[in-house]
Amino acid sequence: MIHLAPSMVVMNPMTALSLLFAGISLWIRRDVSNPPAARYYFYIALGLAFLVSLIGVLRLIDAVVSLPFHVDYLLFPNRLDIPGPSPPEEMAPNTAFGLLFCGLGLLFYDWRTHKEFRPAQAFVLLTALLALLALIGHLYHVLLLNRLGSALPMSLDTAVALELFCMSFLAAQSHAGVMAVITSRTVGGAVARRLIPTAVLVPCLLGLLLLMGEQAGYYGRESALSIFAAGTIVIFTGLIWWNARLLHLADLERARAEEQLRQTSLNLQRSNTDLEQFAYVASHDLFEPLRMVTSYLQLFRQQYKELVDKQGKEFIEFALEGAKRMEALIHDLLAYSRVDMRGRAFEPTDCEQAFNAAVTNLKIALQESAASITHSPLPRVLADKIQLTQVFQNLIGNALKFRGDRPPQITVAAVRQENEWIFSVRDNGIGIDSKDFNRIFVIFQRLHTRQEYAGTGIGLALCKKIIERHGGRIWVESSPGQGSSFYFALPMLEEVEKP
């Protein structure tokens, strides 16, 4: 066997093999890909991790109860039994603990609790602590730190190898568990990256330098302890002030950002209010001149139809059609601007009544399209009843408008999820391409020409604004030719649910 120094314990061959197994297992667990062969690699990684844990357990049992396992003598037993001046090359008990913890960390590599605690990282940190104590013991020549009781100490190369494995393991999980804080771009992450290395290295190096000075006879033990205490106080006081200044600057920056955000929010709120007021007033004031234009065009068509040729009559019809479209746009724009400005106060509302009102308003369209509509029991929510009726009416109306060759089949339902109700309106219509999911909720956005489907393109934007006013959200799931399912969520208040 090759020794680093004549009086130094070296790594046991089974320890080296276990560390090799652990490294291979970590590499596989870190880099398992999608092909079918990946699961075989996964099982290989678990098997290697189990072997590492088993070797550690058997060595501990052998050390505690003296059973004849001698797992650390399985490799090169003849070379290990050769007598000589070198220290024995058995596996140290604290090394066995380290291997056990490494194996457990690999076995529980991806497992985490509901609070994102990762036991694997806890096992690896325990191993890192054992290895760090052994390293300090070797640096200071203090056996108390690198062995358990009077047992064989952990070798220096084993301690270094375990530390390297632990750092590699934590680097492989750099965005999970405790490492998520250390590697984050937050102030807490910056503080952790500054304090942790300093807290480990400064006492070790300062103590080593003072110990070397004491052994050289520059000062006594009392002076060394005094210098160590004073140096530690000065260094960590400076480090704490440095990080406190960082936190102070971060708090000042956050306060400025919050103030800017508050001002921006107030300005945006005022701007939205002004825009809504402008849209309401402008739309309201446009109705009267538009009615006048429409009325005079109709009078002109009636009184002068004999004097106008065929092309002139077509021009009049185009003008009337445009005026009607403009009237529909203004009407819908008024409805859109009234969502916040003219909305009523929320009150306990029976969704069954809102749904029935919407169906009644669409009775003729339902009959003309031979549609069938069903619904499950609908709950009570805190809402503006008129606006909730508008939502049902627009979604059901869309299902009637964008139907395929078959008669429309519409299903309305509501399910409870945690603290909200999820409503759904499903149909068997023409469907929507996924690339247009966001576009359909933008005001005046159309996916089809007016010749294909009538309308102003404001219905879904109106639904979105109403649902957001109620503190909810709306989305769609669909594919072309397969129908559409519109969902909207509304908050569920406990006092509303009580009878």
Distance, in Å, from the CA atom of 447 to the CA atom of 439, rounded to the nearest integer, reads 9
* Count: domains in the chain: 2
pLDDT in tens, 26-43: 988 876 555 555 677 888
Half-sphere exposure of 473 (CA within 13 A, CB side): 4
**Residue given tokens 């849209």 in the structure block:** 279
Pair (178, 44) in one structural domain: yes
Is there a domain that residue 317 lies in? no
Pair (62, 209) in one structural domain: yes
Phi, psi of 403 (to 5 degrees): -95, 160
Is there a domain that residue 297 lies in? no
Pair (241, 354) in one structural domain: no
Q: What is the CATH number of the domain that holds 420?
A: 3.30.565.10
pTM metric for this prediction: 0.52
Residue finishing a domain among 221, 236, 253: 253
Residue finishing a domain among 193, 227, 253: 253
Is there a domain that residue 73 lies in? yes
Considering just the CA atoms, what is the radius of gyration of the chain in Å? 38
Is there a domain that residue 389 lies in? yes
Is there a domain that residue 248 lies in? yes
User: Can you list the pairs that 194-202 forms with residues at least 24 positions away whose Cβ atoms lie under 8 Å?
Assistant: 194/239, 194/242, 194/243, 195/239, 195/243, 198/235, 198/236, 198/239, 199/236, 200/132, 202/232, 202/235, 202/236
Q: What pLDDT score does 490 carry?
A: 92
Distance, in Å, from the CA atom of 291 to the CA atom of 297, rounded to the nearest integer, reads 10
Q: What pLDDT score does 217 carry?
A: 79
Pair (101, 249) in one structural domain: yes
Is there a domain that residue 139 lies in? yes
Is there a domain that residue 442 lies in? yes
Q: Closest by alpha carbon to 137, among 158, 122, 121?
A: 158
Pair (489, 359) in one structural domain: yes
Pair (244, 367) in one structural domain: no
Pair (90, 234) in one structural domain: yes
Pair (30, 160) in one structural domain: yes
Pair (230, 105) in one structural domain: yes
Domain enclosing residue 42, as ranges: 13-253
Distance, in Å, from the CA atom of 292 to the CA atom of 286, rounded to the nearest integer, reads 10
pLDDT in tens, 260-302: 888 887 777 776 666 666 666 655 666 667 777 778 778 887 8
What is the separation of C-alpha 382 from the centre of its chain, rounded to a whole number of angstroms?
A: 30
Distance, in Å, from the CA atom of 293 to the CA atom of 298, rounded to the nearest integer, reads 9
Is there a domain that residue 132 lies in? yes
Pair (243, 357) in one structural domain: no
- 353: number of Cβ within 10 Å: 14
pLDDT (tens digit, 0 to 9) for every residue of the chain, 499 residues total? 434 444 466 788 888 899 999 999 998 887 655 555 567 788 888 999 999 999 999 888 888 876 666 787 777 666 665 554 444 567 888 899 999 999 999 999 888 876 678 888 899 999 998 898 888 888 877 766 667 766 778 888 888 999 999 999 988 888 888 888 888 888 778 888 888 888 888 887 888 787 788 777 787 777 877 887 888 888 888 888 888 888 888 888 888 888 888 888 777 777 666 666 666 665 566 666 777 777 877 888 788 777 777 888 788 887 877 777 677 666 666 666 666 555 577 888 899 999 998 898 888 888 888 889 999 999 999 988 888 888 998 899 888 888 877 888 999 999 998 788 999 999 988 888 888 787 788 765 656 555 555 555 677 888 888 898 888 999 988 888 888 899 999 988 654 443 3
Residue finishing a domain among 226, 253, 280: 253
